[in-house]
Amino acid sequence: MRILFYIFCIINFTFSFDFSNLDNIKADFKQIVKSDNQIIEYKGSFSATRQNQYFQYDKPIKKQVLINNGQTIVYEPNLNQAILFSNNNEDGIVNVLKNAKQDGNKIISNINDNIFFIFLDSNDMPSKIEYTDKFDNNNEIILNNVKINTNIDEDIFVFKIPEGTDIIHSKSSTFKR
């Protein structure tokens, strides 16, 4: 009987995550996108609240992605251009984590029929998220230096257009981050 109690405690401790009070998150990331026989790896960092997200990509090329108020801005400094389009920000990382539920031995978040599998480190911090995007690409996002409910400077969520930047208004919302 004691052994069953200890096993229950270990299982309960292992899956004792709770993201219901999550207001924001910051982390470094590595995203691996697998499509057919191609693998693309991105590296960078991000800050996100429930309404806003800011991604700073460092590899393979420098790029900034700002998502807020139903709009996405993708700025590519090497091209000196920004692409603006509307979006549905419901599948932002904060919402994905806040909606996560225990399902057997997995942590799953279902947002608009998109299934996200969430993995935690030994401190119950998100360490990896896996999902298949609307283009059937398999995505793996590995998180490092995760900080939850920390101070985020709201100014990063305001795009300041560098002088000489070409602005492209896209009607398509199919752009991939």
Number of H helices, E strands in the chain: 2, 12
Return the structure tokens found at 46. Answer: 């991000």
pLDDT at residue 91, as a whole number:
67
DSSP letter for each residue of 100-124 = -EEETTEEEEEETTEEEEEEE-TTS
Average pLDDT rounded to a whole number, residues 77-91: 83
Sign of CA dihedral 34, 24, 44, 70: positive
Distance between CA atoms of 99 and 9, rounded to whole angstroms? 24
Q: pLDDT digits over 18-50, tens only?
A: 788 889 999 999 999 999 889 999 999 999 998
Most confident of the following: 12-21, 61-70, 104-113, 164-173: 61-70
Residue 51 CB neighbour total at 10 angstroms: 14
In DSSP terms, 31 is beta-bridged to: 42, 141
Q: Per-residue confidence at 142, pLDDT binned at 50, 70, 90?
A: very high
Average pLDDT rounded to a whole number, residues 142-161: 92
Residue 7 CB neighbour total at 10 angstroms: 10
Please determine, for residue 7, whether its predicted confidence score (pLDDT) is greater than 90.
no
Select 18-169's CATH number: 3.90.1170.50, 2.50.20.10, 2.102.10.10, 1.10.260.40. 2.50.20.10
Q: pLDDT digits over 91-131, tens only?
A: 688 888 888 898 777 899 988 888 999 999 888 899 999 99
